[in-house]
Amino acid sequence: MNHETRSAGVPVRDKQAEEDLWQRHKAERGVWTEPMLAALGRGLKGKKWFSLIDKVSAERTLRLAWEKVHANAGAGGVDGITIGRFAQNSHRRLLAVNEHLNKGTYQPKPVKRVWIEKPGSVEKRPLGIPTVTDRVVQAAVRMVIEPIFENCFAEHSYGFRPGRGCKEALRRVDKLLRAGRTHVVDVDIKGYFDAIPHDRLMALVREHIADGRVLGIIEGFLKQGVMEGGELAKTEEDEPQGTPQGGVISPLLANIYLNPLDWLMERCGFEMVRYADDMVVLCRSQEEAETALEKLREWMDGAGLTVHPEKTRTVDMNVANSHFDFLGYRFKRSRSGKMMHLVRPKSLSKLRESIRTRTRRANGRSMNAIVVDLNRTLVGWYAYFKHVKASELEAIDGWIRMRLRSILRKRRGGKGRGHGSDHQRWPNRYFSKLGLFCLLDAQKLEIASLRDGANY
């Protein structure tokens, strides 16, 4: 039908409303159809989805999944195929994946284990790197099943969810503290990602997914094994557990497993804020905090998880100098009774180490090049930590300028750190003219432009 001669009885589709439909359900266009979203909205009989493999294996889904994996970059897996190599003939590779998924012959390869440093700790944590092909399939599965679980996730869960993030979680914590919920349960789950029992996790997945082939793919990822130093270490067959950190689908599975805890805490009337396995419960009294902690421990025991005995505690934020850490921030009550937002020491150590490696005195780059390099880090760091106390930003700015003065001092034949007359020789305005990003100045400008108070 020609648009100009469209009958008056044919409704014109509201494109904005149509777009809102996908956004509301956190669904990917081209993967989820309008009838599927309508079924999701009204609720399926039995609450289970029976036919999803065709959505996972669809060429458009795989192409969108590859685009996401390509954009995220990352290292190659045990098969040695890098992102660049996959990209050279991605169309042929995606067709092969499509064929294996449709025939039911797809088998994920083991993940490559690498160990990465934990900020502020001598310990290292394991990271599992799936092959590029497996990351594409995981992304495809996630795009298909995520809206189903998003439809039943609790409001106070923020980690690794579409349209949500750290800043929303921090705003919620700040709001609850201001509302008088100053008795805080600071919770740490010991080795959460490595401890999730496969059988119990899959039971939760099966509550909503009944497509056997999709379930088989998810189980395959859970049991794919780990390759380290050329040796394959398979998961324990008697009681397999854990989701490899680094997998595309792992964060969603982790949220699925903790979802019953979210709803339990809500039913009990507790205000919990959770970002993946980081969580705090904000209460009005010490008695309420102790009750919440007992409920948490009871649920964790039943779920096969362990509350870390040293890192889990209750904090009375009415007491001077009391504090708790959450998502990189330290919430602290000052001696005068003011609630302060500081940088968590581990987060500060991570920033300092990043700056230190690029500002060594024996640095052959020009000062302009060093400043440009530092700004890439500082601008992003400030965007996240812009609400910390001004004196903290000022101290970091001063420390960075000291590092730069030390480089200039050495180039003049001097020794040691920049100090004394170096401040007159290279005053703060010298670095401003070079374009060095100043954290404190950025905060002052933002406060001036938002007189009614900035949010996270």
Neighbours of 143 (CB within 10 A): 22
Nearest to 184 by CA among 337, 312, 346: 312
CB 440 within 8 A of CB 447: no
* CA separation, residue 386 to residues 353, 354, 381, 446 (Å): 19, 18, 8, 9
What predicted TM-score, i.e. pTM, was given to this entire model?
Answer: 0.87
b/e for 204-243, b at 16 or more Cβ within 10 A? bbeebbebebbbebbbebbebebbbeeeeeeeeeeebbbb
The secondary structure of residue 241, as a DSSP letter, is B
pLDDT in tens, the chain (456 residues): 343 333 344 344 455 555 678 888 889 988 999 889 888 888 777 789 999 999 999 999 999 999 999 999 989 999 999 999 999 999 999 999 999 999 999 999 999 888 777 655 667 777 789 999 999 999 999 999 999 999 999 999 999 999 999 999 999 999 999 999 999 999 999 989 889 999 999 999 999 999 999 999 999 999 888 887 777 775 555 556 777 677 899 999 999 999 999 999 999 999 999 999 999 999 999 999 999 999 999 999 999 999 999 999 999 999 999 999 999 999 999 998 899 999 999 999 999 999 999 999 988 899 999 999 999 999 999 999 999 999 999 999 999 999 999 999 999 888 888 778 888 999 999 999 999 999 999 999 998 887 655 455
Partners of 124 in the β-ladder: 117
CB 166 within 8 A of CB 274: no
